[in-house]
Structure 1
């Protein structure tokens, strides 16, 4: 992976780390599924009128929207509202890195190098240290929903990779049309239609800023870059960078929410960085890059998953 692309992956991790602070603030004004629905409405409109349609087949666009929007983010936002602390959620969610590597190997035949497997395991150990020592709290349902969100994110990475999409931003924007109606329907069943309407019409400036960040910065910028990297490189090269999200998340919570950061967090952060160093270290040329072919280095498209 090029050095510039590694920096982009780190930037995405930073964006997503701060995202947990934005979500926590947004949930003070909005029910979780309503906040999730507004996120994707804002991500889709007006860009859906400005960007071309995705090159991938419709089933990939719809599936990506359902898995990422309804399953992953619907579960994550609900978990945070159900008692999962933002810091601990950012930790548990990164189980997707290992899940993504395993799914890509099983379904797409992307075989990770030993250094990548070792890096993911070391980084996951650092995440475990953070989870045990960070002092975060969670309900059982909150923890299970976050773990489900991690699995859904891994599947979304797989769908993105399998789609062969040539315009990742187009896929992201057009697939954002899929989640709002199912999410608002679920919110109406869970919270009641009147509560949903009141939450939307009574949106505060804090809620608007939270929606703006999670829609434009986290979704369009963050996932826009992430999907481009997933389309170009193997999942095993990209997914482990998400292990940095809790490091940035805890730092953002410390800076913006006054949450303390102690020695345990510092040690665990060093372990995560060591794991990431194993993933990105230079090995046999192009050995780990499943998508670079020929002298021009143009990406090959992953073969689609059998329907």
Structure 2
């Protein structure tokens, strides 16, 4: 890495650490306004600079915990869930976990299948105990293994991964993991509606081929793009989604479409291209997604923002 580049990364790492230190000191003083101000600074910095985890590997886990508002992790609680053994849907979990990010060698080296199974078992047990206290119930559903993967890869311990994953699922995208995958299907319908506004020509061409988002974007919406390698780019995209809202993943999928627009428009069978998106480039995708926000009517954007968690009345 050239000195100037190395210096810039070190400066960015220092900026992130400065905000994290401010957050920690304000958290001790219990000033809600100071805490929120630190979170806003974190969000702005994430949008301007990527988290330099290659310089300081502790940055991303610390930032994710702040963005998710995960403050207390209880080893006793997690161990109690684990001690119960297999949950009632263990077989369903095992049918998925062995193929989680199967082509990513770095993931396979860091995250063993038994860690993923144990975390998902514990999540089911956690919500088995909390059913009466929650409007929405949770169990294991398709895609949850892929949503858990970035947490196990990023966090320094399985314990922290569990509490971050649980908070993420229960607060950020609870409708995505209902048995009907209600939030995912809402997201796919919103993707079509947003695409029709931001690129009517592309939308009409796909519709002329009987292609809706349900057919080509289901995995990307369901897993918040974690199914599209490489993993290091997925993590950069998730920095953005955790900072500004998982609803923006719908626009990130549209951004990936726009990056291959010419190929799609010139293909007589675009589904062949759309079956597998090109390797993820988080910087390009985020840049396009942010500009797309401005093109959406306020009412549609509000609906987009609420779709991962707002129960229909």
Q: Which has the higher contact order (CA 8 A, sep 6+)?
A: 1
Query: TM-score when scaled to structure 1?
Result: 0.29
